[in-house]
Structure 1
Amino acid sequence: MTQDIKNNDYLPKPEDFEIVGPNLAQSEVIYKPSLTFWQDGLRRFKKNKLALTFLVITTVFLFLAIFGQMMTKYTYNSNDLSSKFLTPMEGMKKGHFLGTDNLGRDLFARLSQGIRISMELAIVTAAICVVFGTIYGAISAYFGGIVDTIMTRFVEILMIIPSMIYIILLMVIMGNGIKTIIIAMSLTRWLNYSLLVRGEVLKIKENEFVLASKSLGGNFWWITLKHLVPNTLSIIIIRLTTDIPNIIFTEAFLSFIGLGVPIPQASLGNLVYDGSSNITSYPYLFIIPSVVISLITLSFNIIGDALNDALNPKLRS
């Protein structure tokens, strides 16, 4: 045996080996790396054609809010009694794209200004509510115990009284104006965001990645901004898209009853109120701003529902 090994009788030879290529029939398929949470949500959102349609409509309104005043030679508060009550067909000859009102003011300029005021008010108010409500809810849930109990009971006490009563009371005390409306709405609408964030933080604060961050010395602000808030961002966005139309509609209602944006400033509520007094003779003054309010409200609600389906696919029916 030893002699055979020495004679290399049992050692492998080059001709004993065969070079083979990959077995494509038995090889595993290498799939594309999975998408991130936001990429996957965007992919599902793009499949909703109705939401994309209303997203385009919302973009058009945002464009009018920003550039509408530049698209006409008239301003929202300039009047011309010789050109009052021009219908859209009659006003088109003089550059009044949507006609004029009872004082000869350009309806297109006033409508674009009203959309701008409504959008600015809604975005600023929503931003204040999100920031303050998120911080308040995160503090309440993070520390828990007696701190959570006191902070939660405070919110629940404030939510007992309907928010419209707070808003009207503050408007009466502080007077009309955009800043007053923003303050009045912000003081009441942040409550819902705080409870929403609190509930989500309570569910994720005991997860392994949060405990690991604590063990490595992460403080409250680091853990909140790095881990807690990003994991609640999806529900905040969904709530935001459904809250913005409510803010716009509330402002329109307050302006309609005389507690919102003061005249002669243009707002959607003021335009609807002015049009209602001439609805039988000149219905376009009422129909056009009413349709705009309806489309804005409907657009944000449909986009919010689509985002809810896209970011929370497990909750879809």
Structure 2
Amino acid sequence: MDNKIKPIYDREKYTTVPSDFEYVGPDRSEGEKIYKPSLTYWQDAWRRLKKNKVAMFFLGFLAFAVFIAVFGQHLTKFKYFEQITDDRFLSPLQGFKLGHYLGTDSLGRDIFARISQGIRISMILSIIVAAICVVIGTIYGAMAAYFGGIIDLLMVRFIEVLIAVPSMIYIILLMVVLGNSVETIVIALSLTRWLGYALLIRGEVLKLKENEYVMASTALGSNFWWIIKKHLIPNTLSIIIVKLTMDIPSIIFSEAFLSFIGLGVPIPQASLGNLVSDGFREISSHAYLFIIPALAISLITLAFNVLGDALSDALNPKLRD
């Protein structure tokens, strides 16, 4: 008896063709092709930022505040310095009928026009101060970290000496010596706030200067300014933006504090600090004079802080994770 198992097909009659096989290995036909990324770094950061609904709400609020600062004087028929003695102490509900959208103060001046002017001064002043601090702090911190050694030691010690004294003391002394003006506030705030930017940029440049592309650029003969412009600053830009966004509300609050104690923007110019100071005197009888400008300062500073925190998550997702 034959116990061999007979095949279910005849091998001699069956022939294979290429379609009987399927290649399951990697496809190397386009291995050398370079694909452009679908999103750039900034586009990806904007995509992450849009997912934060709270940050987008406050971003819209800041856009509205900028609109009021720029066009607020054209939305009302009253000037911020115009006094109408017949319309003194009009509440927002009473004044709205006469065109005073937020009422009037003790001299009959339109609160809406003065709030608009106060936001404009605060925004312009904070942007100028922040820009000066970014430029000085970035250059100073990058130089200290790039050259290193004794130069870095001396430059850092100089910063530590200045930081040891509270910045408000420098500001008040300068305001007393130079007098009250917007230019004096810019100088006083700029001379103290660039220190934080310098230390931040120094720490980042200390890490970046050890990278291969920086050493390669140095070996090819690139000078300090070229390396700063092409390699170091672009790679610290996200951190600078976050620091800038978080620092602007502090500058606005400092200006408001100086104006509140009488060392800020001089009268008759309107400032949020001046408005809060004027309203504080009338808080017992006309609380809206204090509440409206105080609410404006609070919402603007809150908006910048929330937006800065959201930008930190969007621009540096690894730190969030």
Instruction: Establish whether TM, by shorter chain, passes 0.5.
Output: yes
Q: Would the alpha carbon gap of residues 289 and 183 (structure 1) be closer, same or farther in structure 2, given more than 3 Å must change?
A: same
Structure 2 gap ranges (5+):
1-15
Corresponding letter in the other structure for 2:139: I
2:133 aligns to what? 129
The residue that corresponds to 1:40 in the other structure is 44
Instruction: Report matched runs for 1:14-93 at 5 Å.
Output: 33=37, 35-93=39-97
Mapped to 2, the partners of 1:37 and 1:18 lie a distance apart of: 46
Structure 1 residues 23 and 65, CA gap change in structure 2 (3 angstroms)? farther
Could you tell me how far 1:312 is from its partner in structure 2?
A: 1.5
How far apart, CA to CA, are the structure 1 residues paired with 2:162 and 2:231? 29
Shift of 1:37: 2.2
Q: Does 1:195 align with 2:199?
A: yes
Structure 1 position 247 matched with structure 2 position 238: no
Q: How far off its partner does 1:219 sit?
A: 0.9
User: Is the aligned partner of 1:273 residue 2:292?
Assistant: no
Give 2:63's aligned amino acid: T
Alignment of 1:141 with 2:145, yes or no, is yes
Partner in structure 2 of residue 205 of structure 1: 209
* CA-to-aligned-CA distance 1:68-115 (integer Å, 9 cap, x gap): 111111110000100111111111111111111000001000000000
Separation of aligned partners in 2, 1:290 and 1:120: 19
Quick one: which of 265, 288, 293 aligns to 1:289? 293
1:110 corresponds to 2:119: no
Equivalent residue letter for 2:245: T
Q: Does 1:228 align with 2:197?
A: no
Whether 1:314 and 2:318 are equivalent positions in the alignment is: yes
What is the rounded CA distance, in whole Å, between the counterparts of 2:53 and 2:299 in structure 1? 17
Shift in Å, 1:189:
0.1
Q: Equivalent residue of 1:104, what SS?
A: coil
Question: What amino acid sits opposite 2:288 in the alignment?
Answer: Y
Q: Distance in 1 between matches of 2:235 and 2:27?
A: 38
Within 2, Cα distance between the matches of 1:255 and 1:95?
28
RMSD: 2.3
Which residue, out of 185, 188, 191, partners 2:189?
185
Alpha-carbon distance in structure 1 between the residues aligned to 2:188 and 2:37: 48
Normalised by the length of structure 1, the TM-score is: 0.90
Q: Secondary structure at the match of 1:118?
A: helix
Residue type of the alignment partner of 1:276: F
Instruction: Write the distance in 1 (CA, Å) between the matches of 2:36 and 2:287.
Output: 57
Show the 5 A alignment for 1:131-170.
131-170=135-174
1:261 to partner: Cα distance? 0.5
C-alpha distance in structure 1 between counterparts of 2:274 and 2:262, whole Å: 8
Q: Which amino acid aligns with 1:217?
A: G
* Residue identity opposite 1:158 in structure 2: L
Deviation at 1:23, TM superposition (A): 8.0
Residue 199 of structure 1 deviates from its aligned partner by 0.4
Distance 2:77 2:216 in 1: 61
Instruction: Please give the per-residue CA displacement for 1:182-216, whole angstroms capped at 9, x wherever unaligned.
Output: 00000000000000000000001010111111122
Deviation (angstroms), 1:39: 1.9
How far is 1:36 from its partner? Answer: 2.5
Q: TM-score, normalised by structure 2?
A: 0.89
Secondary structure of 1:231 counterpart: helix
3-state secondary structure, aligned to 1:94: coil
Residue 289 of structure 2 aligns with an amino acid whose one-letter code is L
CA–CA distance in structure 2, aligned partners of residues 124 and 224 of structure 1:
23
Q: Shift of residue 264 of structure 1?
A: 1.1
Give the aligned partner of residue 8 of structure 1: none
**1:97 pairs with 2:101:** yes
- Identical pairs, percent: 65
- Give the SS at the match of 1:41: helix
Deviation at 1:34, TM superposition (A): 5.1
Aligned-partner residue type, residue 261 of structure 1: V
Structure 1 Cα separation of the partners of residues 246 and 210 of structure 2 = 29
The residue number in structure 2 matching 1:260 is 264
Query: For 1:64, what is the secondary structure of its paired residue?
Result: helix
Q: Among residues 177, 180, 183, which one is paired with 1:176 in the alignment? A: 180
Residues paired across the two proteins, number: 302
Q: Which letter does structure 2 place at the counterpart of 1:48?
A: N
* Helix, strand or coil at the partner of 2:97: helix
Secondary structure, aligned partner of 2:105: coil
Q: Take 1:73 and 1:228, find their aligned partners in 2: how far apart are those partners?
A: 50
Q: In structure 2, how many angstroms separate the alpha carbons of the residues matched to 1:257 and 1:129? A: 24
Query: Residues of 2 paired with 1:94 and 1:35: CA distance?
Result: 52
Shift of 1:33: 3.0
Q: 1:5 — aligned with what?
A: none
